[in-house]
């Protein structure tokens, strides 16, 4: 705790807050997101929705638009569900009880412990990736940290180490220690207050923690036809239970392998949809986006038509409307190109 009080200078706006809404919002945004990127989103969210009541009453489309580019959109869906649960079940007051917190959609043990300890000073250890690493090195844990048995062991050790009188301060201290001192590579052991009792330091085991290798990611080919007229563009909303649910996209031809541009445009889907004359204005190179469990690859083929063609499941919208709806990062550059276009 001395290190946290005198040597930890890692500042973030949510760290000084006791507001459970701000703490919850920061934790959800920072899941799978670097602090540098998440900070800008956090500030935008609290400006647009200063309380959980504001978020609960917001339109889904407005929230998704604000989230656009952050990825892992299930977090955004859960954010809305939880805000509305708190509105309906707890009269817009965040519960302080751990079991009530963990019952809310999208709030797991880590987030529930963070809210309980940071906002309400309840004695629950917060175990994120940084804490995982500190404890694995400190105790010399050599079993893979991404197994159930080791996860259980680390959580038990974290709870034993917790300062029960100041759990919020302690949790923040050990998280920051992992982020700034006990780093994954090139840890600053000489500046670490735990060095004298650290097993990994004593036994030259700073390669810890060990993780099991992940299963190779599935590859999906999403080939997009970006169809426009002089003032409108063809879009649809992804409503199925899949990646990017509730976000918008352009005309999609999905394939199990790289078809190449010509074969994409020879598919029955393409020929059935675009039977009227069109001009191909631009074709992208193969683009790639890494998701948690899969890799997305595909082309973007831009075509222009003289008039709108009715296509089942799709609609034509203006370029101005395009600015108001949310798209996945895979399409963000293409969206930007059309939203900045000047219409005569």
Element of type H or E holding 226: strand 218-228
pLDDT score, position 275: 86
- Please give the Cα distance from 337 to 314 (Å, whole number): 20
Q: How far apart are CA 194 and CA 206, in angstroms?
A: 14
DSSP notation for 262-320: HHHHTSHHHHHH--S-EEEEEEPPPEEEE-SSEEEEE-EEEEEESS----TT-EEEEHH
Task: State the CATH class of domain 218-339.
Answer: alpha beta
Tokens 């998280």 belong to residue: 175
Between CA 198 and CA 138 the distance in angstroms is 4
Q: Which fold has domain 2-202?
A: Endonuclease III; domain 1 (1.10.340)
Q: In terms of DSSP bridges, do strands 218-228 and 300-305 run parallel, antiparallel, or are they unpaired?
A: parallel
Give the pair of three-digit tokens for residue 116.
Answer: 């309980």
The C-alpha atoms of residue 109 and residue 104 are separated, in whole angstroms, by 11
Distance separating alpha carbons of residues 243 and 231, to the nearest angstrom: 29
Which pLDDT score is estimated for 36?
A: 85
Contact 245, 327 (CB under 8 A): no
Q: Contact at 8 Å (CB) between 79 and 55?
A: yes
Active-site residue (options: 16, 27, 254, 308): 27
Q: DSSP labels for 139-181? A: HT--S-TTSHHHHHHHHHHHHHHS-SSSHHHHHHHHHHHHHHT
Please confirm, yes or no, whether 27 is among the known catalytic residues.
yes
- The C-alpha angle with vertex 318 and arms to 66 and 312, in degrees rounded to 5, equals 95
Q: Which pLDDT score is estimated for 344? A: 45
Q: Which H or E run contains 220?
A: strand 218-228
Please name the residues in contact with 147: beta carbons below 8 A apart, sequence gap of 6 or more: 212
What is the Cα–Cα distance from 119 to 137, expressed in whole angstroms?
29
Task: Scan for tokens 């002089």, then name that residue.
Answer: 230
Structure tokens at 185: 């590579």
The domain spans of the chain are 2-202, 218-339
Q: What is the pLDDT along the chain (344 residues), one digit of tens a residue?
A: 666 666 776 777 777 789 999 999 999 999 888 888 899 999 999 999 999 999 999 999 999 999 998 888 999 999 999 999 999 999 999 999 999 999 999 899 999 999 999 999 999 999 999 999 999 999 999 999 999 999 999 999 999 999 999 999 999 999 999 999 999 999 999 999 999 999 999 999 999 999 998 778 899 999 999 999 999 999 999 999 999 999 999 999 999 899 999 999 999 999 999 988 999 999 999 999 999 889 999 999 999 999 999 999 999 999 999 999 999 999 999 999 998 865 54
In this prediction, residue 237 carries a pLDDT of 97
């Amino acid at each position: 705790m001395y290190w946290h009080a005198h040597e930890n200078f890692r500042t973030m706006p949510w760290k000084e807050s006791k507001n459970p809404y701000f703490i919850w919002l920061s934790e959800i945004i920072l899941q799978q997101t670097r602090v540098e990127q998440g900070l800008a989103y956090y500030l935008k969210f609290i400006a647009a929705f200063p309380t959980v009541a504001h978020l609960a009453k917001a339109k889904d489309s407005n929230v998704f638009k604000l989230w656009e580019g952050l990825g892992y959109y299930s977090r955004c869906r859960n954010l809305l569900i939880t805000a509305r649960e708190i509105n309906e079940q707890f009269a817009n007051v965040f519960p302080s009880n751990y079991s009530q917190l963990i019952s809310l959609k999208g709030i797991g043990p880590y987030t529930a412990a963070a809210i309980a300890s940071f906002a309400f000073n309840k004695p629950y250890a917060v175990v994120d990736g940084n804490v995982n690493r500190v404890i694995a090195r400190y105790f010399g844990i050599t079993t893979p940290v991404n197994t159930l048995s080791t996860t259980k062991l680390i959580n038990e050790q974290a709870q034993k180490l917790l300062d029960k009188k100041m759990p919020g301060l302690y949790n923040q201290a050990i998280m920051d220690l992992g982020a700034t001192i006990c780093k994954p590579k090139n840890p600053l052991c000489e500046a670490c207050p735990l060095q004298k009792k650290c097993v990994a330091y004593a036994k030259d085991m700073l390669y810890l923690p060990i993780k099991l290798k992940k299963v190779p990611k599935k590859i999906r080919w999403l080939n997009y036809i970006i169809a426009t007229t002089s003032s409108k563009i063809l879009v649809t909303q992804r409503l199925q239970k899949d990646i990017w649910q509730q976000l918008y996209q352009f005309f999609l031809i999905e394939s199990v392998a790289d078809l190449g541009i010509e074969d994409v445009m020879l598919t029955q889907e393409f020929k059935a949809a675009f039977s009227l004359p069109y001009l191909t204005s631009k074709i992208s190179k193969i683009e790639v986006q890494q998701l948690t469990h899969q890799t997305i690859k595909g082309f973007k083929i831009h075509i222009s038509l003289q008039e709108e063609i009715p296509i089942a499941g799709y609609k034509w919208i203006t370029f101005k409307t395009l600015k108001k709806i949310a798209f996945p990062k895979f399409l963000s550059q293409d969206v930007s190109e059309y939203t900045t276009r000047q219409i005569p």
